[in-house]
Structure 1
Amino acid sequence: MTTVDDDGCGLRERKKRMTRSALREAAVRLFGEHGPEAVTVEDICAAAGVSPRTFFNYFASKEETVLPFTADTHDRLVQELRQRPAGEEPLPALHAVLRAAVSRAMLSETWQEEARLLRVHPQLLHRGIAASRSTQGALATGVAERTGRETSDPYVWLVAAVATTAMRVAVDVWQEGTEESDPLAALDQAFQWLEQGLAPPRS
């Protein structure tokens, strides 16, 4: 019999989450203390108490540890888009699944530091860009399925790109704001403007 915890997650999956979290936390701490160039995969593994072989079961490189969205996140985005109500328009559906994804990311104690590292270390920037494009691709897959169009359709890519940009802007606004600023509120505002056709705010 499989043991299931309170959020419906099996024991095996929970252990995987804990290992992934330990690796991310170790990498973020070491990157912050020494800079990404000076930190090796072996350093991260030693700090997290796992082997390099285990590390590569979760991440393709040391830089990938600080990406907010990874391959499993993208799979989940597509699945959640499939589960949205059939008659829902693309933008509201994307807003809902991205809001849920950001909410999950915020549960990580290192999320804000991960985002900061991606911004201040140019050598990590290309990883952030690649992750953003992968997110856009996942959203495009979901939009294509919901609209009955091909994933190569310009409309599909435009909608996915706009939604991805809205999320990125929301995170940037949050980082530049006060301690009380809320990335979810920033995301909601961004999608509200999109749904209003980007008309200039009245105030």
Structure 2
Amino acid sequence: MTPSGLRERKKEATREALRHAAITLSRERGPQAVTVEDICAQAGVSPRTFFNYFESKDEAILAIDVSAPVVLRLILDRPAEEDPLAAVRNVFAQRYAEIATSATFRERTLLIREHPELVPRLTHTNRAFEEAMVEGIAIRTGLSPDDVYVRTTAAAAFAASRAALTCWQPDSGPSLVTLLHQAMDVVERGLTPPRPE
């Protein structure tokens, strides 16, 4: 293993330890009762180290565990023949397949359901993620990031993703990836409701 590869793995392990501590403590005590110092003590790192990874406690608890630059790269790396919505769908499906089995992600999902007051903060925390989607769609289409098509497509894909997460039951029912595809199908049908069987 190269030294740079080892460093990256150690950084990712530290980031995951901080996220896990922030989420599990928040479920145990309630988000308002947990401090950055508590999280650091649980993860065995200093507050200075914490702020090398996260800007705030909210980010540690709520941020989707993939950075905006990675999201942008994944969207741009999709095959050129995919339309923008399909490219974003496939990026979401790939990420959800990877993270849905993570205990930390499952705990995060349950925490947000137990504390709905976190939802507005979740929207704020994930703004960079949504903007990366906007940039990726803009580059793939050659349109401005402020173009109505670009903004609408990104917003619709993000809404479908949120719907899948809302409907997902970590311990039963359809998988998160299945629900994502169902939600994206609704968007692609132009929000036409399914016909009764």
- Give the structure-1-normalised TM-score: 0.88
- Given the alignment, which residue of 149, 152, 157 partners 1:158? 152
Residue in 1 that maps onto 2:193: 200
Structure 2 CA distance for aligned equivalents of residues 197 and 17 of structure 1: 39
List gaps (5 residues or longer) in structure 1. 5-9
The CA RMSD measured in Å over matched residues stands at 1.9
Deviation string 1:129-184 (CA, Å, 9 cap, x unpaired) is 11343322111000000000110111100000000000000011113x86133111
Task: Give the superposition deviation at 1:68.
Answer: 4.3
- What SS does the aligned partner of 1:110 have? helix
Deviation string 1:104-153 (CA, Å, 9 cap, x unpaired) is 32242121221222233255333201134332211100000000011011
Residue in 2 that maps onto 1:149: 143
Q: Which runs of 4+ in 1 moved over 4 A?
A: none
Alignment of 1:109-148 (within 5 A): 109-148=103-142
Q: Is the 8 A contact 1:68 1:111 kept in 2?
A: no
Q: Is the 8 A contact 1:24 1:66 kept in 2?
A: yes
Structure 2 CA distance for aligned equivalents of residues 69 and 140 of structure 1: 16
Higher relative contact order (CA 8 A, sep 6+): 2
Equivalenced residue count is: 196
Structure 1 CA distance for aligned equivalents of residues 184 and 115 of structure 2: 29
- Given the alignment, which residue of 167, 178, 193 partners 1:185? 178
- Give the structure-2-normalised TM-score: 0.91
List gaps (5 residues or longer) in structure 2. none
- Given the alignment, which residue of 17, 22, 30 partners 1:27? 22
